[in-house]
Every structure is written in structure tokens, then in C-alpha cells.
Amino acid sequence: MSDVQRPRIHLLPPQIADAIAAGEVVERPASVVKELCENALDAGAMRVEVDIEGGGMVRIRVSDDGDGIAAGEMPLAVARHATSKIEEVDDLWRVRSLGFRGEALASIAAVSELCITSRTHDADAATLLRVRAADVVEQGAAAAAPGTSVEVRDLFFNTPARMRFLRSPRTETSVCIRAVGDMALSHPEVAFTCRCDGRTVLRAPGSGVLRDALRATMRADRYAQLIDVAIEGEVTVSGAISEPRMHQATRGGMVLIVNRRRVHNRALLAATEEAYRGLLPGDRHPFGVVVVELDPNGVDVNVHPTKREVRFREEGRIFAVVQRACWAALQGAAPSSAWLQWDTSPGGVPAAFLTVRDRGEHHAAASLRLPGMGVEWRSLVEAGESTGAQSETATPPAATDAAVALTGGDDDARPLDESTGLAALRPLRAVGQVGSAWLVAESPRGVVLVDPHAAHEKVLYAELLGAWGTAGGVAGRGGEGGASQLLLLPAVVECEAMQIARFEAHAEFVESCGFTLEPFGPNVLRCTAVPAAARDTDAARLVHELLDTLDLGDRPASERQHRVAALVACHAAVRLGDPLDPTEQQRLLDRLVDAPGGTTCPHGRPTVMVLDDATLRRAFRRPG
Ligand SMILES: Nc1ncnc2c1ncn2[C@@H]1O[C@H](COP(=O)(O)OP(=O)(O)OP(=O)(O)O)[C@@H](O)[C@H]1O
Ligand SMILES: [Mg+2]
């Protein structure tokens, strides 16, 4: 861009400055990385290089090949409320640039030593400006190619209170890397390189293809589970989201991008999660990237000091489009391992329709319809037979609570009352397995249908907690599942920096749960033992999820134990579709009636359904 066309940096009049969400811009090193990258992108850069040392507290440098800053405007660039990006208050509603407050460089310069070297494309030389704690300490000519390079040293040197809130350099580094990753995802046409302490940790090619940026920022096994999202219209939604067969313990894995800006927005996040309703266990979350583009007029970006939040004029509409886009993507994808749908028949009588499909050899579908007086129980076990029924009823899951729909009629088969407990079913005798899916059992209370996975999960969960001496567990029988079991072949687990940080914070706890993990090179762990209950599972995947389950906060150990027990139980439990022989069926039922704490599995799904005598009599029109 020539010097004539380029908007000049100017001080905003006070009334505009006051209209801008004020507050803390620089919370941690990653905020600096984000602001400097945003400036590079606003300057039209096609290549951005980020260097981070010592978690960003020692040095951060962001260099770009963008338009540069004219020599005479350098001091204004670091002045508060000086920007080249907006002119008047209404511009705040038209913002297309990432920056608009004229605050970032001034805020960073106030808490560090900041040095800008910049050269416009028509200038003969570069200019340098060094500012320390907001005072200019050096100014003059320098040798550099066109573009801008901003170096920040000694971050927070004059604000020790802020410094105390920072985490370890390793954690801060990983948050910085994530900030660069977000930039690469929101601007796939720009090439990003990120080096940490001299090592290249991220290289996005700038091909313009989101998938390429994703591949550069995501672990290969997660990348392999993504399906594309695409809806065109006034509101365009694109991106790639996880298949339901892979999920994670926290919400942080779903990146939302609105008009090229990474944002945090509860409603949009809820819209993506809503699309997975019934596909994921209650406390698990999807991951991926959802990119929303709409008229800037429909978004207020000026609601948060670090611009991380946005507000929509028509939130309900955006929510619906995002939910529909994600839902359509999930429908178009290959069958997922479980699909649960509750629907209400025209007469308003609740009915449950449950289809389970698996990509492997087992295809099972079962439907339990309870239209008033009749009970219809159907199970299709042969491969392929389930698909017709499935597509006919495939509509987005209604936003009704599944549990409400299920227990909506007094006449229906229903999960046992939580207060009754599973012990009330004793003795529970196995009758058989429908296909390779549901177990049918007999109890003094009636016919009992059992979800073998949920039941096994519940049993293992209680036994693991018992073995670890945690409240809510059942000690004794089967408690050996909590002991450590050496693996024949140790698993080498490649991790993200954040996962390593979590492991380091909880190494002792992890060991107390029966895992033996040790560092095995940069960002790699070796797992030589797992809890005995999980000896036959994919150890690397389990360790990944274990590290995702941990947190960096100070939650009580017992809460962490509950979460790890639920995770191990989920991995180790038999799958719906695994055939069980009569002895195994009976053993599972025996352990199930001993499990304390309600009738649901640790993810909140029912383990059993009881068709009692009264229900069956009504259904078969045999007055009792
Ligand atoms: N890498 C860069 N290349 C070219 N110009 C830059 C660069 N970084 C900053 N500038 C100029 O300096 C000005 C001030 O930057 P600063 O980041 O402080 O504010 P802003 O980007 O306008 O708004 P915000 O505070 O929302 O980021 C910008 O408006 C821009 O003109
Ligand atoms: Mg800026």
C-alpha cells in the first residue's frame, strides 16, 4: 500500500475513546502474542513469525511482511487511543479489522520493554522505537526489510502482582502457542511460524485451506476424526468438528471464529453442543473449529476489553444456523457409535427410539415404543437392517429433556427411581442377550432390560473408587481392578504442552490411580502400567483422555478421583454390541445389584429399565 492511501494513525476524540470497552488488555504473555499477531494481520501480512522465550516473560517477537508504519507515526502507534482503523463511533459497528481501540501497543509498552522496528514499502530505511514502561528510551533509523517487527522483553517487570498470577513458563508457552494456532485457523491464507525457545512448534502453510491450518495445529489422531461443516447463506458456517466417537472432558476444544476473530460465546458453543445431543455422554464435549461469517453490522465486537467476546444482534438466528450446520454435518458423516433419540408421537405419548450402530461388524437397532396401551419391543440385529428406520426418523433431537420424555407417562417402562437403588432388583437372573446388545433379566420386580455398557461402567466405577478408598465406592469384590497392571508393551504417548503441564502438576495423583507414566523426550510420555480394569484398552488413548480430564486448579483429589474412575470405567467397560456368554451376563448382573449410588452410570445414562407386572398387564390388556 502506498503512503498516500494508508490511513494515518490518529488520536481518537475522547467521546469515541470512552465508547470503547476499556479494561485490562494484557493479562498474560498470550495476550501480547494475540495483539501483535492481530496487528500484523490488520497490516495485510501474508507471513507472520512468532518467537517466544521463557514462556513469553523473557521475550516475545512478532515479525510480519505487512504495510509497515511510517516513521513519523511511530510514537503515535504506542500512544493510548491512537489508531488508524476507525474514525467515528459508528465505525465500531462496521469494524472489519481485528484492532480498533488503539490500545494494545500502549498497554503492552506500559508493562514491558517494547521495541518496534518498521518500514513501509516505499521507505528507504526502517525506523526503530524503544519504549520502557511507557517512556521512549530510543528512537532512530534501523536496517530492516519492509514490514514490522515488534519485540517485547521483560513482560510485567514493573507489575509484580500481575507476574504472580502467571503459571509456569511451560504452561504460558502452551497458551501462547494456542493463541498463534487460533490466528492460523482464523486466517488460513496467512503463513504462521511459531518458535518456542528456538524450537519450531507450529508451521501453518498459509495455503488458504482451513484443513491445512488445522493439520498444523492439531494432534494427528484428533485431526483424523474431523468432519466438515458447510452451510452457505446470509450467515455462512464452515469448519470441521469431531465425530461423536471421539470426545473430550472439557469444553475448551471447540474453537469458534466469527468474522475472522476467535471468540468465546456461550450461545454459539451451546449451539454446537446441542447438535451432539444424545450422541455424547453427558459430561463429554466435542472439539473442532466452527467458522461463522455474517454482516459485521450484526455483531458487536466492542463488548470485552480483550475483544474475546462478541454480541449478536440476532443471537437466536445465529444459534439456529450453527446448530443446523453442525447437525447436518453429523448426519452426513459415517454412522457414529450411538444415536439416541426421543420423540413424541402425535397423540403426545412419549416414545423412546434407540438405535445403536457401529462401524464394525455389529449393527444393532432397538426400539421401544410405548403408545398408550401397547408396548412394542423390537430389535434388529443384522447388519444394515437398522438403516431404514433410522433415516425415517432422523430429525434434529428436540430440545426436551430425554429423561422427562422417558418418564413422561406413568404407564411407561422407566429407569428405576433413584431412591430405590439397584439392590431392590435382587436377585437378578440373566435370561439372555438380545442380539449382541441388550441384556434381558428377570427380577422379583419384573422384566429388566439392561444396557450392558452402562451397567459395566457403573460397576467398574464403583469398584475403582472402592479400591482407591474413595467415598461412593464398593470395596472388596472386583476391587483388584483399581490395582496397577504392567503393560506387556509400554505405550509411547505424544502429548500437547498443556497435557504435559497437567501431568507434571498431578504426577503423584496419576500414580495413585494405577498409572505409571514417565517423561520420554520432549512432549512425549511413556506409559508402562494402567489400572488393571483397563489392561485391555488402548493405553495411549486412555492416557490422552486422562490428561485432558486433569486440571491445573486446586480441586479436591476426591473429585479428580471420581472423574478418573468414570474415564477408566468408560474405556474398560464392554461395548454395546459385544456378545456376552451366560456366565458373563450373570456375573455382570451380580456386580450391578451391589453397586451403590442410584441406577445411572457415571455419565448419567440409565443402566436398567424395568417392565413391571402392572405395566405389562396394562400393555396386554389384562386387568390385574
Ligand atoms: N504490525 C503492524 N503493522 C503496521 N501497523 C501497525 C502494526 N502494529 C501496529 N500498527 C499501527 O499502530 C496502531 C496502534 O496499534 P494498536 O494495536 O495499539 O491499536 P489498534 O490495532 O489500532 O487497536 P487495538 O487496541 O484494538 O489493537 C495501529 O492502528 C496501526 O496503525
Ligand atoms: Mg492492535
**Unique residue bearing C-alpha cell 435370561:** 431
The reply to whether ligand 1 has any atom less than 6 angstroms from the CB of 66 is yes
Q: Which helix (H) or strand (E) holds 14?
A: helix 14-19
Give residue 341's pLDDT.
31
> Please, which pLDDT band fits residue 262 given cuts at 50, 70 and 90?
very high
The reply to whether ligand 1 has any atom less than 6 angstroms from the CB of 327 is no
Least confident range from 48-62, 137-151, 595-609: namely 595-609
How many Å lie between the centroid of ligand 2 and the Cα of residue 464?
51
Give residue 519's pLDDT.
94
Helix, strand, or coil (residue 242): strand
Q: Which amino acid is at 237?
A: V
Instruction: Give the integer Cα–Cα distance in Å for 547 and 566.
Output: 14
Q: Name which residue leads in pLDDT, 227 or 475.
A: 227
> Could you tell me the three cell numbers for 352?
423412546
521 sits in the region (left: phi over 0; alpha: psi -120 to 50; else beta) called: left
Give the sign of the dihedral formed by CA 535, CA 536, CA 537, CA 538.
positive
**103 CA closest ligand 1 atom index:** 25
The reply to whether ligand 1 has any atom less than 6 angstroms from the CB of 116 is no
**107 CA closest ligand 1 atom index:** 18
Q: Looking at ligand 1, which residue's alpha carbon is closest to its atom 1?
A: 40
The torsion angles phi and psi of 565, rounded to 5 degrees, stand at -60, -40
Report CA Rg, the chain: 29
CB–CB of 324/231 below 8 Å? yes
The segment with the largest mean pLDDT, out of 93-107, 183-197, 328-342, 496-510, is 183-197
Give residue 55's pLDDT.
95
Distances (CA, A) of 377 to 351, 368, 413, 506, 619: 11, 5, 11, 48, 12
pLDDT above 60 (res 339): no
How many Å lie between the centroid of ligand 1 and the Cα of residue 148?
11
DSSP type of residue 515: -
DSSP type of residue 396: P
The reply to whether ligand 1 has any atom less than 6 angstroms from the CB of 39 is yes
**99 CA closest ligand 1 atom index:** 26
End-to-end CA distance of the chain: 88
> Could you tell me the three cell numbers for 416?
428405576
How many Å lie between the centroid of ligand 2 and the Cα of residue 104?
5
How many Å lie between the centroid of ligand 1 and the Cα of residue 539?
47
Q: Name which residue leads in pLDDT, 533 or 358.
A: 533
Give residue 91's pLDDT.
78
Distances (CA, A) of 100 to 14, 47, 54, 111: 14, 22, 30, 21
> Could you tell me the three cell numbers for 151?
519485540
How many Å lie between the centroid of ligand 1 and the Cα of residue 7?
11
The mean pLDDT value for 285-307 works out to: 88
**9 CA closest ligand 1 atom index:** 31
> Please, which pLDDT band fits residue 361 given cuts at 50, 70 and 90?
very low
> Please, which pLDDT band fits residue 481 given cuts at 50, 70 and 90?
low
> Please, which pLDDT band fits residue 17 given cuts at 50, 70 and 90?
low
Instruction: Work out the mean pLDDT of the chain and round it to a whole number.
Output: 80
> Could you tell me the three cell numbers for 620?
396386554
Q: How far is CA 298 from the centre of its chain?
A: 26
**97 CA closest ligand 1 atom index:** 21
Helix, strand, or coil (residue 488): strand
Q: Looking at ligand 1, which residue's alpha carbon is closest to its atom 14?
A: 77
Give residue 471's pLDDT.
64
Neighbour order of strands in the sheet with 439-443: 429-433, 439-443, 446-450, 608-611
Q: For the segment 506-549, what is each residue's pLDDT rounded down to a tens digit? A: 999 999 999 999 999 888 999 999 999 998 899 999 999 999 88
Q: Which helix (H) or strand (E) holds 548?
A: helix 539-549
**Unique residue bearing C-alpha cell 491464507:** 189
Q: Looking at ligand 1, which residue's alpha carbon is closest to its atom 7?
A: 39
How many Å lie between the centroid of ligand 1 and the Cα of residue 171?
27
- Beta strand pairing call for 236-242 and 261-263: unpaired
% of residues, the chain, pLDDT over 70: 79
The mean pLDDT value for 78-97 works out to: 84
pLDDT above 90 (res 493): yes
How many Å lie between the centroid of ligand 1 and the Cα of residue 105?
7
> Please, which pLDDT band fits residue 433 given cuts at 50, 70 and 90?
very high
Instruction: Give the integer Cα–Cα distance in Å for 448 and 428.
Output: 8
**Unique residue bearing C-alpha cell 386387568:** 623
Q: Name which residue leads in pLDDT, 398 or 551.
A: 551
The mean pLDDT value for 307-316 works out to: 87
Q: For the segment 371-419, what is each residue's pLDDT rounded down to a tens digit? A: 332 333 333 332 233 332 322 222 323 322 222 222 222 333 444 443 3
**105 CA closest ligand 1 atom index:** 18
Q: Looking at ligand 1, which residue's alpha carbon is closest to its atom 28?
A: 83
Nearest to 576 by CA among 224, 339, 370, 283: 339
pLDDT above 90 (res 619): no
9, 31, 83, best to mutate for ligand 1 pocket (most atoms within 8 Å of CB): 83
**83 CA closest ligand 1 atom index:** 29
Angle at 8 between CA 3 and CA 13, to 5 degrees: 170
**Unique residue bearing C-alpha cell 459395566:** 456
The reply to whether ligand 1 has any atom less than 6 angstroms from the CB of 305 is no
- Whole-model pTM: value is 0.60
H, E, C per residue of 98-117: CCCCCCHHHHHHHCCEEEEE
64, 105, 152, best to mutate for ligand 1 pocket (most atoms within 8 Å of CB): 105
> Please, which pLDDT band fits residue 19 given cuts at 50, 70 and 90?
low
How many Å lie between the centroid of ligand 2 and the Cα of residue 365?
55
Instruction: Give the integer Cα–Cα distance in Å for 46 and 38.
Output: 12
How many Å lie between the centroid of ligand 1 and the Cα of residue 44?
12
Q: Is 257 exposed, middle or buried (0-12, 13-18, 19+ CB in 10 A)?
A: buried
Q: For the segment 122-143, what is each residue's pLDDT rounded down to a tens digit? A: 999 999 999 998 899 999 999 9
Angle at 369 between CA 364 and CA 374, to 5 degrees: 135
Q: How far is CA 315 from the centre of its chain?
A: 21
Angle at 541 between CA 539 and CA 546, to 5 degrees: 90
Half-sphere exposure of 449 (CA within 13 A, CB side): 17
